[in-house]
Amino acid sequence: MMRKIILITTLFLLAVICTPATLAQIGEVWSYESSNPLYSVDITPDGNKILSGGGGSQFILMNSATGTPEFTKKVTGTVTSLAIAAESGDIAIVTASKQLFLFDKNGGIKWNLGLTEDLSSVGISPDGKLIVVGTIGGYVHLIDSSKNEMFAKRIDTLPIFSVAINDAGDRIAAGSSTVYLLDALGTELWSSVASRDLASIDIADNTIAAASGAGILYIYDMGGNELSSYKISYPLTSVSISATGKYIALGTKSTNLYLLEGRENPMPIFEHKLKQDVTGVALTNDGTHLVAVSEKGNIYYFDTGVEPDIIAVGEPEPVVIDGLEEKSTDDEVPETPGFTGIFVISGLVLAALFRK
C-alpha cells in the first residue's frame, strides 16, 4: 500500500513539474467614459500617465493608478493625433485646424504653430526637444521645442498617415502606403512598399511596426529588412510596440483588441473584444500595461499579465589570460537539476520501490 502511495505521489510531482507555464489572462483595470469621441492615445513608458484626445477640441491626461483625469484642456479644432514625451512630460498635439500645439506636463501651453496643410500625425522625442509631424500632403516636418523648423520634406505624393520618432531622436518612421525611415536631417535611409493606408506606425529600439487599413501588420528591423507580416481579418487602426518589439498591440475597426508576441513570428497571446471600434492603442515600454480608446469616447486600461520586455544591458566580458579565454564567474550560480535530472531521480526512486 505504501508503495502505491509513493508511486502516485511521484507521478503527480512529475506532472506538475512538466506542465508548461501559461501567460496570465489580460485584466481590465479600469475604464473611463469621455463625453467626446477619442481618436488618439499615448502612454508614458512607465504607464503612470495616459493622454487621449479627439472630438470636442479637447485632450485629457489621466492618472493610470486612479483612473481619473488630472486635467482636461481645450485646443482649436478636433484632435487628430497626440504624443507625450517620456522624460519631460511635454505634450504635442495636432488638430484638424492645421495647428500644432506644445504643452508642458501640467497642461500649460508653450506655443502653437499654424501650418499650411492638414495634419495627420505627431510624435515627440523623450526629452521633448524634437517634434515630428506628418501631413495629408505627403510632408514630414521636424520642429524643435523652440518652434524652429529643422526640416520640411515631401517624401510621398500620398498622405502621410502616421509618424513616430525613436528614443534617441535620430530616426523618424513615417507611413503612407510605403514605410519610410528618415534621419534627423530628413535624409531617407530606406523605404519599403507595404499596402494601402498605413493607419499607424511605431518605432522602438530595433523595430518598426506598421498597421494598414487592409488588416496587415508589417514588422521591420532598423535596416529595412521585413522580419514578418501578420494578417487579420479586420482593418487595423492603431499599433504600439514594447521596448524591443517583443509585444505588439493592435486596434481594429471590428471592436477587437489584440496583443501579439514575437517580431519574426508574431503569435496572438490574447484577443479582447470591446463594445466599440478601437481607434487607438498604446503599450508601456515593458508591455505589461495597455490602453485603448474608442470613437465612442471610452478609455480602457489593461494589465496584460505578460513577462516584462526589458532591453538587455549586456553580459560581463570574458576574462582573457595568456591567450586563453575564461568566463567571468561574477554572475555564476550553482546549477540545479533540470528535467533530465528529475527524470533520472524519479526513475531510481521507482526502481527502488519495486525492487525486492
Judged against a pLDDT cut of 60, whether residue 130 lies above it is answered with yes
3-state DSSP call for residue 344? helix
Average of per-residue pLDDT values in the chain? 85
**What pLDDT was estimated at residue 205?**
86
Q: Is residue 218 packed enough to be buried (19+ CB in 10 Å), middle (13-18) or exposed (0-12)? A: buried
Judged against a pLDDT cut of 50, whether residue 156 lies above it is answered with yes
Does residue 352 lie within any of the structural domains? no
**What pLDDT was estimated at residue 311?**
79
Does residue 353 lie within any of the structural domains? no
Q: 260-279: per-residue pLDDT in tens?
A: 999 999 999 988 898 889 99
DSSP per residue, 84-140: E-TTT--EEEEETTSEEEEE-TTS-EEEEEE-SS-EEEEEE-TTS-EEEEEETTSEE
**What pLDDT was estimated at residue 270?**
87
Judged against a pLDDT cut of 80, whether residue 327 lies above it is answered with no
Residue 222 carries which DSSP code? T
**What pLDDT was estimated at residue 337?**
42
CA atoms of 198 and 174, how far apart (whole Å): 9
Pairing of strands 130-135, 139-144: antiparallel
Does residue 338 lie within any of the structural domains? no
Cell of 349: 526512486
Tally of domains in the chain:
1
Does residue 273 lie within any of the structural domains? yes
**What pLDDT was estimated at residue 313?**
58
Judged against a pLDDT cut of 50, whether residue 220 lies above it is answered with yes
What is the 3 state secondary structure string of 124-168? ECCCCCEEEEEECCCEEEEEECCCCEEEEEECCCCCCCEEEECCC
**What pLDDT was estimated at residue 39?**
97
Mean pLDDT, residues 132-144 taken together = 98
Rg (CA), the chain: 25
| Domain CATH for 213 | 2.130.10.10
Q: 177-204: per-residue pLDDT in tens?
A: 999 999 999 999 999 999 778 999 999 9
Cell of 97: 485646424
Cell of 168: 534617441
**What pLDDT was estimated at residue 3?**
53
Q: Does residue 283 contact residue 276 with C-beta atoms inside 8 Å? A: no
Does residue 249 lie within any of the structural domains? yes
**What pLDDT was estimated at residue 24?**
40
Measure the CA angle with vertex 302, ends 301 and 307; round to 5°.
Answer: 140
Judged against a pLDDT cut of 50, whether residue 146 lies above it is answered with yes
Does residue 355 lie within any of the structural domains? no
Does residue 11 lie within any of the structural domains? no
**What pLDDT was estimated at residue 314?**
53
Judged against a pLDDT cut of 60, whether residue 13 lies above it is answered with no
Provide long-range contacts, Cβ within 8 A and 24+ apart, for 156-160: 156/180, 159/120, 159/134, 159/135, 160/120, 160/121, 160/134, 160/135, 160/136
Expressed as residue numbers, the domain containing 134 is 27-303
Mean pLDDT, residues 215-227 taken together = 97
Residue 262 carries which DSSP code? -
Q: CB neighbours of 245 closer than 8 A, spacing ≥ 6?
A: 204, 205, 206, 207, 209, 219, 263
**What pLDDT was estimated at residue 275?**
86
Best mean pLDDT range from 1-5, 12-16, 178-182, 276-280? 178-182
Q: Is pTM beyond 0.75 here?
A: yes
Q: 16-54: per-residue pLDDT in tens?
A: 334 333 334 568 999 999 999 999 999 999 999 999 999
Does residue 1 lie within any of the structural domains? no
Mean pLDDT, residues 128-150 taken together = 97
